Amino acid sequence: MESKGLASVWPALAHIPILILIGIGWVWTEGGSSDLQASPILSERRGLLASPGFEGQPIKGTYFFPGEPGGNVWMYTTHPLDPRNEHWNSDPSTRGWVMDRMVRAHINTVVMSYWSNMPQWSPMDIGQTTLSGVLDAVQGRPLVVMPGIEGGNDPGHPEIAQWEFSKEFPYNPSDRRVAPGLVERIGQLVELFKGRMNLWAQVYDRDGKPRYAVHVLHVSSDVISQELNKDTDDKAFAQAFDDVAAQVYSRYKVLVGFTLDTIGGRRYSAYPREAGKALEQTPSVLAVQGFASEVFSGLVMSGPPCSTEDWRLCQPYDNNADNLGRLADWKRTAVRDWMATGVPVILDVSNGFDGRIVWKKDGTGYWGDNLNYTDDRWRNWMSQLKGSGVRGITFNTWNGYTEGYAAVPSFEHGFTVYEWLRDLLEPDPWDCSHMHYLNGARTHRVYGAICEKWVQLGADRGFGAPVSEELPSVHGRVQHFTDGKAIYWSGTTGAHELHGLIARTYREEGGDASSLGLPVSDEAPNDEGGRVSYFQHGRIDWNPGDTRGHVSYYSGG
């Protein structure tokens, strides 16, 4: 069955940070209005870091739960190898070690989970110095901190502190004030960073101006309704971020922007094809990024609810078996839809999800790396989403042990996830550069124009996995893939693929050392119901029944 149960309870309990970072930054002027006409030159910086010393760098981030394990250790589906990952509160000397490990993974932005007055919702125990300890540990290291405001709601226990973004945005229904709880929580962050504002991540907005980035999770509205074929709802939703930023500036003299975890399935949800235009024109929008956004795809398969105390008797659904490709396709489409809006995209990636214990009562499923085994496919497919149009990457999450997504080396997956993250973040996110993993280990990197062609052809799912590094050929470059496939490139001819009998015939002829030269086309239909590939000085045709391609040279070739 479809995992409607998981998607419906997720925002209610807010135990897992699902964030679609839409950076939203507001420009306050003397007249109290914002200029919607952005300079094309300044707009090129939109969504990039603006903090001193980081200007123009892409966000290479990881979500981080400050604190240390408490009574929920029994819910772990990933267990860290090194005990220093588990003593953030009790042994402050471990904090610098944690941050140094992030730096070695090419991370420059710590997306810090902040539960304000609701520590009971955090998957970690939070002490008096837990949050300030993040700033202490970042100080002097090539890192900045982007605070992430989380919410929680439990209708069965109204006596505990709770707050939900959707209940007061774009305004509080009782008094029509604009998101008073959000404004209050941002004020608490201003106090936390007081004297150390240089550590708070700044991001360029639509007009090329730096804003202190605030990450807001579970962004949707239960106050306004979705209006089909109208944009008044989208404009009201977008405008409210400017209004919140104005209030924050008025009270605290701090210019903030917002990164938003937009989620679907609510009374109002900010979908890219409907809300994208309004958000793109809002000076407070910095970028869009999801946090395990596939959870809200409506495509996750879940097992039945399980009320037994022994979680080992429950049956979570293994989405790796028959549903992983569908989830990956949804995510690729979602990322492309956001990129088409003009709002910068900060790609959210994870190594998978396994909340089979914490979510067992509602029924759940897992995918990617999980408690039972390591599966490289989800990580490979997330890496293949990089390329032109992506402005940054954030990994979800550094220490999400109860949901099985964690970067730290673990008993379940060894160093695989950590090394994969290092490989992922080393190149810039807009570069097509993919290190392919097999059996939990590196194999070969695909990059540049060959990578772009490979992804266009469907990457490992549609074309094949790499079986070599990119190599020099006689007149260009070549990389080999499974089943005898290859992609050739030169500055003159560009990147083109060869496969099947045409590829074999080309190799037998001597490749680009032959009189054919380099390929100048991908394989295509010919006039005889077969296939053809064109080269600099000839062509190779294959027709049904042929056991070898037919080589033809151009006159004078």
User: Structure tokens of 165?
Assistant: 């973004």
Does some domain include residue 442? Answer: no
Asked whether 384 and 455 are in contact (CB, 8 A), the reply is yes
In a domain, 533, yes or no: yes
Give me the pLDDT at residue 41, please: 53
SS (H, E, C) 404-430: CEECCCECCCECHHHHHHHHHHCCCCC
Judge contact between 467 and 461, C-beta under 8 A.
Answer: no
Q: How far apart are CA 287 and CA 303, in angstroms?
A: 34
Task: Indicate the pairing of strand 256-262 with strand 210-219.
Answer: parallel
Q: What is the CATH number of the domain that holds 143?
A: 3.20.20
Average pLDDT along the chain, 557 residues, taken 10 residues at a time: 36 35 31 39 84 98 95 93 96 98 98 92 93 98 96 84 93 95 96 98 96 93 93 95 96 94 90 95 89 90 95 96 97 94 93 95 96 98 94 95 95 98 97 98 98 98 98 98 98 98 98 97 97 98 96 83
Structure token pair of residue 148: 């992430």
Instruction: Specify whether 172 is located in the same domain as 225.
Output: yes
What pLDDT score was predicted for residue 483?
97
Based on the fold, state whether residues 425 and 533 are members of the same structural domain.
no
Q: Tell whether 441 is covered by a domain.
A: no
Residue 108 lies in domain? 4-431
Q: Are residues 521 and 380 in the same domain?
A: no
- Domain identity same for 360 and 462: no
Residue-level pLDDT at 32: 33
pLDDT given at position 428: 97
Question: What is the side-by-side order of every strand in the sheet holding 524-525?
Answer: 524-525, 531-535, 538-542, 550-553
Asked whether 182 and 169 are in contact (CB, 8 A), the reply is yes
For residue 211 the two structure tokens come to: 């804003």
Collapsed DSSP state (helix, strand, coil) of residue 28: coil
399: nearest Cα among 104, 136, 69, 12: 69
Number of structural domains, the chain?
2
| Residue 417 and residue 466 in one domain | no
**366 shares its domain with 475:** no
pTM: 0.90
pLDDT at site 215: 92
Asked if residue 375 and residue 458 are part of one domain, the reply reads no
